[in-house]
Structure 1
């Protein structure tokens, strides 16, 4: 059995983290499977990937208003901004590239962790091509944008019941083809943070320093709560790490890039809350750890839409600089977050292993030997 996992971009993203999580799960159950994680943009052209990823990063951090307009124009047309560019020429180019890619790789199963390859595969399958390949969408945000393929996609791993209902009602996807798995996170995060006697916050893990969350205003605001220690994840931002280190503050501990999920899990276990941006994967890790989630800022586009959902479900609290002391000392609000997180997790009804098992079982008639390599058939709640 050959499995392809298709995120987007070569630099670390939530899409690539989910792809790695899927890889680990498949390898543990199907040790004989051939698994490849491929950035489809890089396959098309390394120069193209660098160009698009550069625009993506610069748009996020350098031109948020432009990025927001582009996102709502191309990716999420439910927004009132209605300009819809003609992308037919680009679609033809990428479909040709995808055909060449699939003809070379000859996969049995494809997991898309980004909407871009999903949309291309959906288009090809609707045209009658590659129907013998099982294709799965694994959604990595708390909403479903317009680029994700729907028709021709065999299974959908969705973040919550509302997403499932939308796929059923709007796109007429069969109920038994949709699994409410939540946004997949590494198994290291499946156990909640060890029980603490009270809900007072004394340690906060800060995620998002690599994306501009931590700046002078932020440092000034956290100094208003000197009794709280901040563990700040700097990622690959060496300049930020050095500047925080130079502060020589007992309140602030900068932490460099962490790749190992078990090391990251240890940091989660030390924390009483997490202060982050509303990225789908980081938020889902915090939900699994049952950590109170505080949002200080959000990037344009998908993070804004994620935040709308999270606030609607009372899963996060937005932290304001001027009110940071009162908010971080509000034990009642923190307790409310914990209760809503418990409620959210109870509604994730399908273990990831089971959803993967059903996806692989669907190709069993073509590759029956792969099903026999399953070490333990997972059970569904």
Structure 2
């Protein structure tokens, strides 16, 4: 039996890196009973308590000092390799990665986080690892943390990223596949029922990410009375936000804690007319698959700000002006035929650019990687 080893990062935070790894495992399990898959976090393997501490510190840092986090992110993620000093973390983790590969003996490595690919790339560069490796990029750009030069295969979010990756590292284009950001095959199913009720009442989904960051509570509290929309709020792990929303009249707002069920999440997507969200790669990709317009009210510092810039240029999201009420703006936009036509055309262009557009085609390519060895 062949074995696939998936390497995201930070086990105790349900991030897009884990969601993509889970989606790949789901795709493999749906299409074959002859391929085993294992998901491991290098940091948790090294020190579980340190991993939990890093997650807590990361979330606290973003909440309290967003500007400093954004500056550090850009300094760290966009310094050329020649400008970086030799990192202590590489010394600390390389032996753990070697031990992990020796223990697991995978036939294919799949990296959904830049740190994992950095270590694997170094091992392949030094001739210590000949296991076929696939990078799956979970944002709409590639930062300089990712190891790319010696990685065998790449799943990229767009044609633009494919061209840039091929040019920068002189990678054969046949080893780079435009897949979008892989999502659960559950989102390929449609559950929407025939419209009932008042068609002028718009149904808006508010999402702050899996950890419930963002200003969702403020957005909802501003528009309890006299609104022509209803909202569903994904609170993630933010218990306070969940309790605050639950106090709002049921006919206006519904609150949901972190949802692990893709079937339930798919059903919610099929019940709404638009999403107000942060520009996370997975959330936007799920919405694009479902054909739901995405409106951005805020972006976390670092990668989300960069995602936002790229997605705006592609016409795939709409940024809500800072002086506008988010719900009012979104409802007006949904009734603006020209704006919706522009979004639909941009979304169609993006979907047509995807080379592997469904779970079966993704699996077929992964299967070929395993067969080549």
User: TM-score normalised to the size of structure 1?
Assistant: 0.88
| Alpha carbons 1:221, 1:321 under 8 Å: kept | no
Task: Give the distance between the partners of 2:168 and 2:322, measured in 1 at CA.
Answer: 40
| Partner-residue secondary structure (3-state), 1:110 | strand
Alignment of 1:105-124 (within 5 A): 105-124=104-123
State how far apart, in whole Å, the 2-side matches of 1:194 and 1:336 are.
23
Is the 1:218–1:321 contact (alpha carbons within 8 Å) kept by the matching residues of 2?
no
List alignment gaps of at least 5 residues for structure 1.
Answer: 367-381
Alignment partner of 1:139 out of 137, 140, 158: 137
User: Separation in 1 of the partners of 2:193 and 2:144?
Assistant: 41
Is contact 1:61–1:211 with CA below 8 Å preserved after alignment?
no
Query: Which residue of the partner structure matches residue 167 of structure 2?
Result: 169
Give the alignment of 1:236-315 within 5 angstroms: 236-315=237-316
Cα RMSD (Å) of the superposition?
2.4
Task: Please say which of residues 41-50 and 201-210 is displaced more in the overlay.
Answer: 201-210
Contact 2:10 2:55 in 1 (8 A): yes
**Counterpart Cα distance in 1 of 2:7 and 2:150:** 17
| Correspondence 1:357 to 2:364 | yes
CA apart distance, 1:91? 1.1
CA distance in 2, matches of 1:225, 1:141: 37
**Could you tell me how far 1:186 is from its partner in structure 2?**
0.8
TM-superposition CA deviations, 1:22-55 (whole Å, max 9, x none):
0011112221222111111101111221222223
What is the match of residue 40 of structure 2? Answer: 38
Unaligned runs of 5+ in 2: none
Q: Structure 1, residues 228-262: CA drift from partner, whole Å, max 9, x if none?
A: 00100112222211111122352111112211111
CA-CA distance at 1:117 after TM superposition: 0.3
Contact 1:204 1:272 (C-alpha < 8 Å) held by counterparts: yes
Structure 2 Cα separation of the partners of residues 225 and 66 of structure 1: 39
Residue aligning to 2:332: 329
SS of residue matched to 1:140: coil
139 and 199 in structure 1: CA distance in 2 versus 1, 3 angstrom threshold = farther
Kindly indicate whether the alpha-carbon contact (under 8 Å) linking 1:2 and 1:109 is maintained by their aligned counterparts in 2.
Answer: yes
Identify the residue that residue 67 of structure 2 maps to in structure 1.
65
| TM superposition shift of 1:171 | 1.0
Once the two structures are superposed, residues 190-248 of structure 1 have per-residue CA deviations (whole angstroms, 9 ceiling, x without a partner) of: 25685988996610011116433235532344347611001001122222111111223
Query: Cα distance 1:340–1:179, how it changes in 2: closer, same or farther (>3 A)?
Result: same
The structure-2 alpha-carbon separation of the partners of 1:99 and 1:83, relative to structure 1 and needing over 3 Å to count, comes to closer
Contact 1:292/1:337 (<8 A) preserved? yes
Q: Secondary structure at the match of 2:10?
A: coil
